[in-house]
Amino acid sequence: MPLSGHSSDLSLADLVQANIYGRNTCRVLVATPQGHGVFFLSDGAIVDARFGDLAGSEAFCALVNAENAHFRVDSGIRCPSQTIHEDWQKLLLDAMRLKDEGKVPKPQGLVPPRNGRQAGPTALDRVGSGSPSAGGRDVLLSFADSAAPPGPVNAGPGRDAQRTAVPAGSREQATEAGAQRRRRGSPLVILVPVLAVAIAVVAYLTAGHRTGEGLEPSKAPASGSVETVEVTALTGQGDVPPQFLAGQTPRSPNSALAVAPTVVCRILVDEKGTVADAKIFRSRLDLASFEDAALEAVRSYRFNPGLRAGRPVRVWVNWPVSFQ
């Protein structure tokens, strides 16, 4: 089932990292108030992005920093071309740096959504209903066609020339209607499983960026001991996060559920690549059976050990566990 959401609930940067750590292959369609873009991951690597006249790393940077954006993740779809060859950590760091400096690339040639409103999950569903093998350019063309404004376009210069003239009152009503729809939830989305996945992914991704509940602070190693670090600290030269090698996907303890929740485990990968410790990041009583199955599974996982400055270290990783 495709995962849909809004950037106010889960940022695109966090969404990207979740799919990278899961080594996923997928297409991510993004709808912004200005127009639509797409980027692809292949086995956890960012390989292509398109946004207006931008392509490659510039398009990815603009999409990750897009505000008020809807997204849809279609798993298993590979991109027919590759325009991005940089490491994902460098891509995200560059995107954050450019945002801080106010230098995020600005796409041109975008087609605004119908009536000046942002295309939401419905438009994304229409685009995602095409051929799974469709490439980014074809998808964007069909996406633009489905959301293009039927009326005249302002003749002003630059990007204003691409916006549909809409009375102020209509725009306010559309904005309020969109907000009410998001509060009520879309009838096209199965809210319970999607909400469970979103909560798990947010917890997984934000854990490494703050101190507080559930986090063990990194400590300076004693003489002759192996250093213990957070995976998010491995960003320097010679640093490599643990790489997953082998492990079984656990079976759902409740086969009656159409979609099982994702459980986030906090695991310590030691210098040999084995799981030295495992716990639930934020436990929930109603998911006890799923949490027990997830812990049992991750304790048998094997990794290539993490490296800091080329030396093996013990690494804390927040690891999302899905079920068969």
Alpha-helix runs per DSSP H in the chain = 12-21, 57-64, 88-101, 121-128, 136-147, 168-184, 191-207, 288-298
Asked whether the whole model's pTM tops 0.85, one would answer no
Over the stretch 264-284, which tens digit does the pLDDT of each residue have? 999 999 999 999 999 998 888
Over the stretch 36-64, which tens digit does the pLDDT of each residue have? 899 999 998 999 999 989 999 999 999 99
Token digits of residue 167? 């009375």
Distance of CA 320 to the CA centre of its chain: 13
Over the stretch 306-318, which tens digit does the pLDDT of each residue have? 999 999 999 999 9
Question: Distance (Å, rounded) from C-alpha 234 to C-alpha 191?
Answer: 35
Residue 54: what residue type?
L
Give the pLDDT score at 177.
54
Give the pLDDT score at 309.
92
Over the stretch 185-209, which tens digit does the pLDDT of each residue have? 444 344 445 555 555 555 555 444 3
